Amino acid sequence: MSRIKEFNLPDLGEGLTEGEILAWLVKVGDVIELNQPIVEVETAKAAVEIPAKWAGQVHAIFHPEGSTVEVGTPIIAIDTDPGAGPVEASTTAAPASDLPTPSAASLAAVEVAPTEGMVEPGLIGGVAPGGRTAVLVGYGPRTTAAKRRPRKGGVPAQATAAPVQAGAAPVQAAPVPAPVVPAPAAPSVDGGGGLVLAKPPVRKLAKDLGVDLAALTGSGPQGSITREDVQRAADAPATAAEPLTAAAPATAAASFGADRERRIPVKGVRKLTAENMSRSAFTAPHVTEFLTVDVTRAMKALDRLRGRREWRDVRISPLLLVAKAVLLAVKRHPMVNSTWAGDEIVVKEYVNLGIAAATERGLIVPNIKDAGRLSLRELADALTDLVQTAKAGRTSPADMSAGTLTITNVGVFGVDTGTPILPPGESAILAFGAVREQPWVHKGKVRPRQVTTLGLSFDHRIIDGELGSKFLRDVGDFLTDPEAALLAWT
């Protein structure tokens, strides 16, 4: 069996087709262990650390940081028996600029990673070095053919293997991609004759943002230009290249060209969100209803809860009571927790409660699995963990799949409510607005009260006006007087 094994980018869950390499956690020559995280990849769902399938030594890295790689494409080669001596020269990685056409001997020395049915035991769920656990969801290549994108510069998508030497056995394998060992920083000559040190992903970012690398001073090793340097230059206000002369007009005419525009590539979470929102908005007939409620008693109940000894270390927010109100209302109106399946409606007896979260990578909607079975304390802990994980950028694809009903807390941005769009496959989403002190008629007199506005969007194919109104009214009733609602409904 060949000692050099190629590791293909696996399907990271839910039919994803490609991922962007954010960072290599190993380099050529490193000795790695089974399940050790080797690369961080960003998909349309999340940033995921991928663990190694084999222990051994990193032999070659095929794609640098910043590359977008299709599922099933080799990304790294691992020498599974480094103690057996040096690898033949024909299998040693070389710079991309002077790579020869792979020979029959080099092709025979490489073994492609096993398919999904042949994954080695102990891989998924094992503890990686350093105590981290592999978070991979779905392992192995896709069963469908990947859709190739044309390469820049007219480089052919496949390389032709060199003729086999006389007497050599024929090789029945497709040519493998030439391994690439990413250099720390690729020097190039700018228009003025000086050297510019920058990695390929940094150059691509500079090109996308319209930043001239030759005009920057690098802050990286050996004066290399980093992503932060490019981003800082793109965000800085434009300065005049030459001082104004006395003959220049006092006020220059405003320009509206590309020099005053910024182009942001649509990828990752933003791309998936756009696709999902467009599909949902033009597939499910949306209806949105609003309800303004007095939540003064609910806010006082939270204050009393914070004062209890067993709750002093628990993060308590109004969102906790909103989540509890939604879960109780679903029990009274199960049809709200359903999905449209063409010729039938699937009513779900479990609630995977989604909480929309704004992160640096974009909007994500992780969900609390089977939230209806949790106590109020367990629900509070689950909400805290969900929010902290999302802010840290560690939400896994599994945490964002199979949601059944969603809450979006737009009140944290200081707005009253909104008309949220349904996540695909769900029939209802509740917008929770800001809680404000407002004049309110209470017991026949106008008094200052804590008031909020709820907005419920629902799929009118499943939920008619009566059902949507009753569900929203029950959520409002709970928030108006949570103690009485708990006594009446449980």
Q: Which residues are catalytic?
A: 460
Contact (CB, 8 A) for 447 and 427: no
Eight-class DSSP state of 424: T
Q: Give the strand pairing for 186-189 and 4-8.
A: unpaired
Count of Cβ atoms closer than 10 Å to residue 484 Cβ: 12
Rounded to whole angstroms, the Cα distance separating 389 from 400 reads 12
Rounded to whole angstroms, the Cα distance separating 58 from 33 reads 10
- Side-chain-side CA neighbours of 135 within 13 Å: the count stands at 19
Strand, helix or coil at 133?
strand
Give phi and psi for 371, each to the nearest 5. -65, -25
Contact (CB, 8 A) for 52 and 124: no
The rounded Cα 133 to chain-centroid distance in angstroms is 18
Residue whose tokens read 């998936």: 272
Q: HEC states along 275-292?
A: HHHHHHHCCCCEEEEEEE
Distances (CA, A) of 358 to 43, 155, 355, 367, 389: 17, 40, 10, 14, 12
Give the H or E element holding residue 233: helix 227-235
Sign of CA dihedral 477, 483, 488, 489: positive
Distances (CA, A) of 287 to 53, 333, 396, 421, 461: 48, 17, 31, 10, 10
Residue whose tokens read 């001997």: 105
User: In one letter, which amino acid is 181?
Assistant: V
Burial of 70 (C-beta count, 10 Å sphere; 0-12/13-18/19+): middle
Rounded to whole angstroms, the Cα distance separating 244 from 479 reads 63
